[in-house]
Amino acid sequence: MANVSQIEHSLLSHHMTRIRDVKSDTLVFRQSIQVIGELLAYETLRTLDTKSEPIHTPLAAHDGRSVCERVALVPILRAGLALVDPFIRMLPHASVLHLGMYRDEKTTTPVWYYNKLDEDLTDITAFVLDPMLATGGSLIAAIDELKSRGAGRIRVASIIAAPEGIDAVTGAHPDVEINVCEVDSHLNDAAFIVPGLGDAGDRYFGTAQ
């Protein structure tokens, strides 16, 4: 699939199994999400632009490299918050801009309740963090909003995606790169990912499902 990258790693497979398992409690789920998030961040951030940075080591002058893009992490509340810390550990100077949406269970369309984006994002590289790419409705709405504020380079980081959601996002925004850990079989009649892992937000935050 164009502009879609799927990560392959033995540790990723191990921890993906942990978060899918219905027997995994909140502690195990959180621990595995953090490992998965770091692997996802490592791959998603690998092509950031760098610039020359002359420095001195304890022994000699050295021409190093440093990231020169202004990066904003954009978690879609609330499940997207689970990926913020792993990305911040990889890129501590990134800013964090929040978007709040929930899915109307009857229509499966996103409903906005919070928007904390900067008005002008013209010089920002935005990484939209959403663990579950199901129908793609929330991601498309988020990308629309980012582009309306001038963001030119946008990438998506998801843990699990359904083919239907990938098709929807790439169809609406073919210029946006998607990094995903695993692509599942399909959406069921209620628009939940199968086999999936249940509700990522409920399982990560330990709330009733």
Residue 2 has pLDDT above 80, yes or no: no
Q: What is the pLDDT of residue 1?
A: 57
Q: What is the pLDDT of residue 208?
A: 66
The C-alpha atoms of residue 124 and residue 75 are separated, in whole angstroms, by 15
Beta bridge partners of 182: 160
Give the three-class secondary structure for 151.
coil
Q: What is the pLDDT of residue 197?
A: 94
Q: What is the pLDDT of residue 107?
A: 76
- Please confirm, yes or no, whether 107 is among the known catalytic residues: yes
Would you call 41 exposed, middle or buried from its count of C-beta atoms within 10 A (0-12, 13-18, 19+)? Answer: buried
The counts of H helices and E strands in the chain are 6, 13
Q: What is the pLDDT of residue 110?
A: 82
- Alpha helices of the chain — where are they, by DSSP H? 10-20, 26-44, 84-90, 137-148, 163-172, 200-205
Residue 186 pLDDT grade (very low, low, confident, very high; cuts 50, 70, 90): very high
Q: Which of 20, 30, 103, 149 is catalytic?
A: 103
- Alpha helices of 62-134 — where are they, by DSSP H? 84-90
pLDDT tens column, 29-46: 999 999 999 999 999 999
Q: Which of 17, 26, 50, 107 is catalytic?
A: 107
CA end-to-end span of the chain: 33
Residue 209 has pLDDT above 60, yes or no: no
Stretch 54-65: mean pLDDT: 96
Distance of CA 185 to the CA centre of its chain: 20
Which of the residue ranges 54-68, 99-113, 125-139, 174-188 would you say has the lowest mean pLDDT?
99-113
Q: What is the pLDDT of residue 109?
A: 79
Q: Which domains are seen in the chain, by residue range?
A: 4-48+68-205 (3.40.50.2020)
* Mean pLDDT of the residues in the chain: 93
Residue 130 has pLDDT above 70, yes or no: yes
Stretch 121-149: mean pLDDT: 94
Closest C-alpha among 68, 67, 84 to residue 76? 84
Residue 103 pLDDT grade (very low, low, confident, very high; cuts 50, 70, 90): confident
Beta bridge partners of 55: 62
Phi, psi for residue 148 in degrees, rounded to 5: -65, -20
**Comparing 106 with 118, which gets the higher pLDDT?**
118
Q: Answer for the pair 178, 7: CB distance below 8 angstroms, yes or no.
A: no
The C-alpha atoms of residue 176 and residue 197 are separated, in whole angstroms, by 25
Residue 17 has pLDDT above 70, yes or no: yes
Share of the chain above pLDDT 70, in %: 98
Q: What is the pLDDT of residue 172?
A: 95
pLDDT tens column, 83-99: 999 999 999 999 999 99
Q: Which of 85, 108, 149, 202 is catalytic?
A: 202
- Alpha helices of 115-199 — where are they, by DSSP H? 137-148, 163-172
Residue 167 has pLDDT above 70, yes or no: yes
- Please confirm, yes or no, whether 155 is among the known catalytic residues: no
